Amino acid sequence: MITGAYAHGLDQSPANHVPLTPLGFLDRAALVHPERVAIIHGELQRTWAQTRDRCYQLASALVGRGIHPGDTVSILSPNTPAMVEAHFGIPLSGAILNTINHRLDAEGIAFILRHSECKLLLVDCEYMAVASAALERLEHRPALINIRDHLAAAGADSQVPDYESLLAEGDATFEGVWPSTEWQPIALNYTSGTTGDPKGVVVSHRGTYLMSLLQMTNWSLPQAPRYLWTLPMFHANGWCFTWAITAAAGTHVCLRKVSAETVFDGIAKHQVDHFCAAPTVMAMIANASGFRALPHPVRVLTAGSPPPATVLDAVVSMGFQVDHVYGITEVAGTPISCVWQDGWDGLPDREKAKIRVRQGARAAAFEGLMVADAQTLQPVPHDGQTTGELLLRGNTVMMGYLKNPTATQNAFEGGWFHTGDVAVVHADGYMQITDRCKDVIISGGENISSVEIEDVLHSHAAVLHAAVVAQPDNKWGEVPCAFIELKSETLSPTEAELIAYCQARLARYKCPSRVIFMELPKTATGKIQKFILRQQAGSREAILRLASSG
């Protein structure tokens, strides 16, 4: 501790210590750019002044309906204007914002509503049926609000109170319920369930504020970006871009459903210059048949499961400025990125492609990253070979898992957040994920990286998605089993052809013993659900049944 001259008279006061929160970005955008378009949704456009007022109306109306600080208010919606508004209006009521994955079934939604003790649920009209089915499963049902959307396929259910009527109950001059400390929850995000066991990730005002600034600084976000919502806002609050784009007084271009066509339309019609993309979205773009040249520079952040090098390369060669970042719901965004170094431009294309798939280094605004033995915390050597678990430490890391102190304690063991990802560190200090901890295949005592095999399979012209998991084997313990989704049915290699393709490029013991062709099961954010594939790889009957029905 500090002693001497600095020990006294330098205390915190309301003048010099204010709880960090992303909520203040809204008032500032409305003050500085009241007439700038804040939100575009089809033909609908709203300014920052209008958006600000609607958010405060929402907050005021929620308080009027009896919402208290610490209550959970949930929203089930694709990327619509109401989702942007929810990111300000719900926390400004003092409630915690819980965005729900709209691809979940009624059972999955019911689990979240029950576990989060949700008091009020906003539902996009297209998802009213599944929401109603979820509510039927609950003993304590939250109040229900129906968000009509002129771009939604289904009509609204007239029995349920309407979002616009809710807003009309509110007062735009409401001052908001602001956090009394920055270590208070702002949002609750359930993990997408690659393990089938959803946990409620609680993030703080402090953490999301700092992640917003991290995104702005690490991506050198310009003022007034025109940002396309390809990434679901329900996914870790869209990596905090819901708040960061507001801080930059940019324009949120909403999107109910992502396709290569809607992306190119957004670029052409709305001058979109920034978006984030999961690997599946990158694959859509890479395979877009009617590709039009970009009318202006477009910058893309991509993350998720390690993207195949071929997909990254294809999108880069189309003229997109792609940055490869890494994140996980528990760190509220993407604090790690493969920063392009001086001199790399001169490397051969093959070298560049190899480097581009690395996850890279911590952002300047993130504190700690280490690849280490998860027990001893001994860092691995920077040899690009030795694997360890990726451990993170920083101010954007979650507060913990809701009502799950054991999982929280395990996740933070030793004072580091355990990502569950296996990685190596290259000589230049850049980290590369080689696998999820549970995806490593151990064959005859050797560790095999499923990602390495998947990368080879992705380089095959016919392969759209590839996923490799361990299959029990009497002799070797485990052997690799590959699941393949093809680009089209016109070009369809046989199992033997793909195995031979791998044998020409990989050590023999790493080659898949079996190849199954099917549409791969994915989470709402485009991650392949390996736990389903693992179940299937464990039983030949199950695989055949699924492959024939797929």
Q: Which of residues 116-135 bind a copy of itself (CB under 8 A)?
A: 116-117
Nearer Cβ to a copy of itself (377/440): 377
402 contacts a copy of itself (rule: CB under 8 A): yes
Q: Which of 408, 503, 513, 535 binds a copy of itself (CB under 8 A)?
A: 408
- The CB-of-410 to a copy of itself minimum distance in angstroms stands at 11
C-alpha to C-alpha distance for 543 and 444, rounded to whole angstroms: 24
Q: Does 394 bind a copy of itself (CB under 8 A)?
A: yes
Tokens of 52: 């600000």
Chain-centroid distance, C-alpha 28: 26
Q: Rule CB under 8 A: choose which of 9, 196, 346, 348 binds a copy of itself.
A: 9
First to last CA, the chain: 64
Q: Which of 294, 339, 377, 437 binds a copy of itself (CB under 8 A)?
A: 339
Gap between the Cα atoms of 187 and 23, Å rounded: 12
The residues in 147-186 that bind a copy of itself, with binding defined as CB under 8 A, are 180, 183-185
In angstroms, the CA 11 to CA 17 distance is 9
Please identify, using beta-carbon distances, which residue of 10 and 544 lies nearer to a copy of itself: 10
Q: Give the one residue of 307, 400, 420, 480 binding a copy of itself; rule: CB under 8 A.
A: 400
- Find the binding residues for a copy of itself in span 500-519 (CB under 8 A): none
Find all residues with CB under 8 Å of 178, minimum gap 6, and list them: 19, 21, 23, 92
Binding pattern to a copy of itself, positions 467-506, x when CB under 8 A? Answer: ----------------------------------------
Which residue of 43, 139, 342, 345 would you call a contact of a copy of itself, by CB under 8 A? 342
**Residue number, 284 or 431, with CB nearest to a copy of itself:** 431
Q: How far is the CB of 352 from a copy of itself (least distance, A)?
A: 17
**According to the binding rule CB under 8 A, does residue 141 interact with a copy of itself?**
no
Contact between residue 252 and residue 88 where contact means Cβ atoms under 8 Å apart: no
- Total Cβ atoms within 10 A of residue 541: 8
One of 40, 221, 303, 469 touching a copy of itself (CB under 8 A): 221
Least spacing, CB of residue 6 vs a copy of itself, in Å: 5
Mask of contacts with a copy of itself, 56-85, x by CB under 8 A? -------------xxxx-------------
Nearer to a copy of itself (CB atom), residue 226 or residue 530: 226
Min dist. Cβ of residue 13 to a copy of itself (A): 5
Q: What gap in Å lies between CA 486 and CA 358, rounded to an integer? A: 25
Closest by CA to 299, choosing from 253, 336, 260, 267, is: 267
CB-based contact 484:492 (threshold 8 Å):
no
C-alpha distances in angstroms, 218 versus 334, 341, 363? 10, 14, 6
By C-beta, is 6 or 445 nearer to a copy of itself? 6
Name which position in 256, 299, 324, 362 contacts a copy of itself (CB under 8 A): 362
Closer CB to a copy of itself, 342 or 489, in the complex: 342
Contacts of 373 (CB under 8 A, 6+ apart): 380, 388, 389
- Sign of the C-alpha dihedral, residues 51, 259, 214, 189? positive
**92: Cβ contacts below 8 Å, ≥ 6 apart:** 23, 55, 56, 58, 59, 174, 176, 177, 178
Window 244 to 283, contacts with a copy of itself (CB under 8 A)? 247-249
Closest approach of a copy of itself to the CB of residue 76, in Å: 19
Q: Which is nearer to a copy of itself, 126 or 330 (CB)?
A: 330
242 is a contact residue toward a copy of itself (CB under 8 A): no
From the list 35, 136, 351, 519, which residue makes contact with a copy of itself (rule: CB under 8 A)? 35
Instruction: Name which position in 67, 90, 128, 220 contacts a copy of itself (CB under 8 A).
Output: 220
In the three-class reduction of DSSP (H, G, I as helix; E, B as strand; rest coil), residue 224 is classed as coil
Give SS3 for 10.
coil
Q: Which is nearer to a copy of itself, 371 or 533 (CB)?
A: 371
Candidates 9-17, 54-62, 169-177, 478-486 — which segment interacts with a copy of itself by CB under 8 A? 9-17
Among 141, 269, 403, 540, binds a copy of itself (CB under 8 A): 403
427 is a contact residue toward a copy of itself (CB under 8 A) = no
* Closer residue to a copy of itself, CB minimum distance, 253 or 397: 397
Measured between alpha carbons, how far is 371 from 192 in angstroms, rounded to an integer?
Answer: 24
Is 352 a binding residue for a copy of itself by CB under 8 A? The answer is no
CB atoms closer than 10 angstroms to residue 190: 23
The yes or no reply on residue 216 touching a copy of itself (CB under 8 A) is yes
Q: Give yes or no for residue 326 binding a copy of itself (CB under 8 A).
A: no
Q: Which residues lie closer than 8 Å to 4 by C-beta, 6 or more apart?
A: none
**Closest separation in Å from C-beta 360 to a copy of itself:** 8
Gap between the Cα atoms of 315 and 318, Å rounded = 5
Q: How far is CA 348 from CA 317, 341, 352, in A?
A: 14, 14, 6
CB of 49 to a copy of itself, least distance (A): 11
8 A C-beta contact, residue 388 and residue 423: yes
Q: What's the distance, CA 511 to chain centroid?
A: 31
Across 205-286, the runs of DSSP E, i.e. the strands, are 226-228, 251-253, 274-277
416 near a copy of itself, judged by CB under 8 A: yes
Which residue from 361, 390, 543, 546 is in contact with a copy of itself, where contact means CB under 8 A?
361
